[in-house]
Structure 1
Amino acid sequence: MSWFAACFVDVPDPRTGNAKRHDLLEVLTIALTASVCGAEHCSDYADFASDREDLFREFLKLKNGIPSHDTFSCVFRLLDPKAFQRSFGAFVEALGAAGEGVVAVDGKTLRRSFDKAAQRSPLAVVTTFASATQTVIGQRGFRAKDGDSEIIAARALLECLDLTGQLVTADAIHCKNETSRVILDRGGDYLLRLKDNRPALKAAVAEYFDDPDCLAALASTETTDADHGRIEVRRASVCHDLSFLTGPRRAKGDIVPPPGLACLGMIEARLTRGEKTTMTRHYHLSSRSLTPDAYLAAARAHWSIENGLHWVLDMTFDEDRARNRKDYGPENLAILRKLALNMLRRARPDISVRRKRKRSGWSNDFARTVLGQMR
């Protein structure tokens, strides 16, 4: 049995009776292969399997022939997404792609997954993304109208991951003491954006960094980027003396620092475009004692989840226009797309994901260089 099959062998088959005539692992393998090679939905999977039957018969038995569109649709609508997600984690571990470094957490709405007839809102997913290796390491779906939230989904996802040695970054919506505790309990550290959803804490931190004497005494670093017709200067400062948060000022408001807080950071960005200059300040809380350079690098690495994942899924996999909406279909197919992206990222790193998808669809020989990771 290949390691790919070993990862997914424990996923329960939701079908009954004659609907099980096609082996579940073979159906998943065909769908993943088709997604790697450019297929977008269940009809594509069936068409691709029919046209490339010679390729699949090299490593699949296909005892009852090629699965139909209805078979793929049935499997992904009924498959337990939690079980599929657990196998996703085993897949990433076996692929050896997670690495160490910054793990970014962020949510994304699958815009066309709404179902008006069933009065269901679009599905949203929270994803954890290893910035250094550009690898998805986990996903959890939720629907706001069902009483779920991105905060709850993110905690549930983080509780399933081994975060040893990782620095978890997240936007201000996740700047909650409960989320910080989950990250620490799983062996990681956090770097969380601080905004107005923690008003007393933000006001105290902002007041500290507004003091010129305090700011001048802090370790800092500065970078300059000049591209796309603009000049951006970023100055990052870190504070490791947190006594001002635990003194008398704490009793004046709801200043409850997250557990394990080790340092505060501020990034001051000065953006010049033509004759117009704007200044912004961003604040972060971290359980890791960071240098200014490490802090600035980690804060910027967080946004790789936008450029390296969300943008690629929308532009290369056309995820924003995916119209799957029945049962568990949207969540399971979102997982499948991320599995395909992980495989494409690991194979032939010298060319883009878009080119790899196209060439895999055009050539069996090229497809084998990607699919060889499944053996």
Structure 2
Amino acid sequence: MPPDVSCPSVGALLSLHFAAIWIDGKVLCSTLQQHQRAIHLLSALDHQTGYVLSQTQVAPQANEAKTVIELLKPLVLQGKIIVADAMFCKKDVCDNILDSGGDYFIVVKENQSTLLKEIELAFAETEGLSPPTNNVKWKLSVKRFRRWAKDIAASNVAF
């Protein structure tokens, strides 16, 4: 995909083919008080309807990546694809999504050059070689992603 494609555009494209859930966090305006942090919420949104499916406050000593597993617990992820940014590219988060029957699409941009390069190498088509991992879940995710990418490309959806 072109590097200028924004995350919401990716979610819109995926929601044409899959039940996409977008994960995003926001700090609420005008909630900063003296000697306290502003209120920070993490939300799971249904991309087709725009409805908030789940929402939780991020604890002051935590971050979104630590809070997302609690956010996803009440949701049925079977057959869903979770769309998020690279902050959620953590093994425990991805394993939790896969263990719950879902899949994930995590957007990584050029400002995370090491991670982007590792992903590019892992997905590179190599003649007769497998990606450098023994993780069965990861290999299945790569196969699913390649299948979805072919389906999306075949649909001729314009950005």
- Common fold, TM-score beyond 0.5? yes
Residues 1:120 and 2:36 are matched in the alignment? yes
SS in 2 for 1:129: strand
**Judging changes above 3 Å, is the alpha-carbon distance between structure 1 residues 241 and 111 closer, same or farther for their aligned structure 2 residues?**
farther
Residues 1:160 and 2:78 are matched in the alignment? no
Residues 1:260 and 2:138 are matched in the alignment? yes
Alignment partners' CA distance in 2, 1:154 and 1:106: 9
Residues 1:140 and 2:56 are matched in the alignment? yes
- Number of equivalenced pairs: 138
1:115 shift after superposition: 1.3
**Judging changes above 3 Å, is the alpha-carbon distance between structure 1 residues 189 and 112 closer, same or farther for their aligned structure 2 residues?**
same
1:185 shift after superposition: 1.7
Superposition pairs for residues 212-223 of structure 1, below 5 Å?
none
TM-score normalised by length of structure 1? 0.31
**Judging changes above 3 Å, is the alpha-carbon distance between structure 1 residues 208 and 187 closer, same or farther for their aligned structure 2 residues?**
closer
Alignment partners' CA distance in 1, 2:128 and 2:58: 36
SS in 2 for 1:263: helix
**Judging changes above 3 Å, is the alpha-carbon distance between structure 1 residues 206 and 113 closer, same or farther for their aligned structure 2 residues?**
same
Other-structure match for 1:129? 45
1:259 shift after superposition: 3.7
Unpaired stretches in structure 1, ≥5 consecutive residues: 1-99, 215-238, 251-255, 265-285, 302-375
Alignment partners' CA distance in 2, 1:192 and 1:159: 19
8 Å CA contact 2:23–2:84 kept in 1: the answer is: yes
SS in 1 for 2:92: helix
Alignment partners' CA distance in 1, 2:135 and 2:28: 34
Other-structure match for 1:171? 85
Superposition pairs for residues 306-321 of structure 1, below 5 Å?
none
SS in 2 for 1:290: helix
SS in 2 for 1:291: helix
1:197 shift after superposition: 4.9
Superposition pairs for residues 287-366 of structure 1, below 5 Å?
289-294=147-152
1:133 shift after superposition: 2.0
1:203 shift after superposition: 1.8
Q: Percent identity among equivalent residues?
A: 22
Q: Which amino acid aligns with 1:150?
A: E
1:263 shift after superposition: 2.5
Alignment partners' CA distance in 2, 1:139 and 1:244: 39
Alignment partners' CA distance in 2, 1:164 and 1:295: 24
Match of 1:186 among 67, 77, 100: 100
**Judging changes above 3 Å, is the alpha-carbon distance between structure 1 residues 178 and 197 closer, same or farther for their aligned structure 2 residues?**
farther
8 Å CA contact 1:108–1:126 kept in 2: the answer is: yes
Superposition pairs for residues 45-60 of structure 1, below 5 Å?
none
TM-score normalised by length of structure 2? 0.68
SS in 2 for 1:160: coil
Other-structure match for 1:106? 24
8 Å CA contact 1:177–1:259 kept in 2: the answer is: no
Other-structure match for 2:7? none
Superposition pairs for residues 26-105 of structure 1, below 5 Å?
101-105=19-23
SS in 2 for 1:107: strand
Alignment partners' CA distance in 2, 1:131 and 1:182: 20
Alignment partners' CA distance in 1, 2:154 and 2:49: 19
